[in-house]
């Protein structure tokens, strides 16, 4: 059977405020531009302004993907995020409504930095089952709202942004074909990447929990070792399922965690630097939005030919990980600025593009 899910549209959205390393230092973080660049490879990241939500970024990226695909709606909407607009309800139904897709099934998916891969696998399964003819997959994050600005371990790494992909059924030979997936998890490492308070295990009460328990925390050294091993192993597994050799991979895009992790995974797989693509330097780690933003950026630059064999891989909290063997899409990415949340119920429409990325 040659039918597979195919990416036919790509969208992206980044907040207008670009935060350089020196600004973090001026804001009081105990670090330096040189330290950040050396340890992470990150030069800047984007940060939402007060009042701008994950949903606002998601709407903009989703509109871009719809426009890129020449579509007005989709049969299903999935939003991959760790930073929903509120704990309840999910952000996806409101996102669908803002896109003029009221009545369309929509749900949030939480797999932290592996969210896009997990959501793509779910979308692919829905399409292959014949449940829907199209899926709008959005990954959006505002990590600046959950990262402690005093924590050098996390504040220097994470940024805000959203990416989106429009999926339909097609053939394995088509550009943008999602050929095979590999997913995995290990809950014994759930404490390596977490926000301790706020869930049913440690709910908020009249007395707020300690400051450190309200923010995202990560045990960097342990995460580094696990991330490199799991992404490399998952990549080998998905390539084996696709019947591809590592040498046949023409484009490698890994979750934009930090440069040391990216270099180590590529080295373990034997993928040369010229085949590795991403935008970590300019946007930092955008969690679930990382892969679609890197896809859109690379595609916009024309750095990879449509139809080329590509390998995507990610690792995140949970712990979760996953990989995709795919052919490079020919879709032209469309980028929109974040949209403000409407103040009253209204039927949304897809406006013309503001910029292309």
Inter-residue contact 192 to 226 (CB < 8 Å): yes
Catalytic residue, candidates 113, 180, 279, 336: 113
Q: Minimal CA–CA distance to 303: which of 250, 348, 349?
A: 250
Catalytic residue, candidates 21, 258, 279, 285: 285
Instruction: For residue 312, list its beta bridge partners.
Output: 253, 324
Q: Minimal CA–CA distance to 331: which of 95, 148, 66?
A: 66
Catalytic residue, candidates 255, 277, 279, 336: 255
Q: How far apart are CA 217 and CA 135, in angstroms?
A: 33
């504040």: which residue's tokens? 155
End-to-end CA distance of the chain: 35
Inter-residue contact 20 to 43 (CB < 8 Å): yes
Looking at the chain, how many residues does it have? 357
Phi, psi of 173 (to 5 degrees): -80, -10
To the query of whether residue 255 is one of the catalytic residues in this protein, the response is yes
């950040």: which residue's tokens? 36
Q: How far apart are CA 38 and CA 238, in angstroms?
A: 32
Paired tokens of 142: 């505002």
Q: How far apart are CA 195 and CA 352, in angstroms?
A: 39
Q: Minimal CA–CA distance to 170: which of 351, 356, 3, 342?
A: 3
Catalogue the active-site residues: 113, 255, 285
């Amino acid at each position: 059977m040659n039918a597979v899910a195919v990416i036919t549209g790509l969208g992206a959205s980044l907040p207008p405020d670009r935060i350089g390393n020196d600004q973090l230092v001026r804001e009081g973080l105990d670090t330096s531009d040189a330290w950040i660049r050396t340890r992470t490879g990150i030069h800047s990241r984007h940060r939402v302004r007060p009042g701008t939500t994950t949903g606002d970024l998601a709407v903009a990226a989703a509109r871009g993907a719809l426009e890129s695909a020449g579509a007005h709606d989709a049969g299903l909407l999935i939003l991959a995020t760790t930073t929903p607009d509120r704990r309840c309800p999910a952000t996806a139904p409101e996102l669908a409504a803002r896109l003029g897709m009221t009545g369309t099934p929509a749900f949030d998916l939480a797999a932290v930095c592996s969210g896009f891969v997990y959501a793509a696998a779910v979308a692919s399964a829905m399409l292959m089952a014949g449940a829907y003819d199209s899926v709008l997959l959005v990954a959006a994050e505002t990590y600046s709202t959950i990262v402690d600005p005093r924590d050098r371990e996390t504040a220097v790494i994470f940024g805000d942004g959203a990416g989106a992909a429009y999926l339909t059924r097609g053939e394995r030979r088509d550009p943008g074909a999602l050929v095979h997936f590999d997913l995995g998890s290990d809950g014994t490492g759930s404490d390596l990447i977490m926000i301790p308070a706020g869930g049913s295990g440690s709910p908020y009460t009249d007395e707020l929990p300690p400051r450190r328990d309200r923010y995202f925390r990560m045990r960097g050294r342990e995460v580094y070792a696990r991330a490199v091993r799991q992404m490399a192993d998952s990549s080998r597994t998905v390539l084996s399922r696709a019947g591809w050799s590592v040498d046949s991979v023409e484009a490698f895009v890994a979750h934009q965690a930090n440069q040391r992790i990216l270099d180590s995974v590529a080295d373990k797989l034997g993928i040369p630097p010229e085949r590795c693509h991403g935008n970590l330097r300019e946007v930092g780690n955008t969690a679930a939005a990382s892969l679609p933003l890197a896809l859109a950026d690379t595609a916009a630059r024309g750095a990879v030919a449509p139809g080329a064999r590509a390998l995507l891989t990610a690792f995140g909290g949970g712990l979760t990980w996953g990989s995709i063997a795919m052919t490079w899409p020919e879709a032209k990415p469309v980028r929109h600025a974040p949209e403000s949340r409407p103040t009253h119920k209204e039927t949304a429409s897809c406006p013309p593009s503001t910029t292309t990325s």
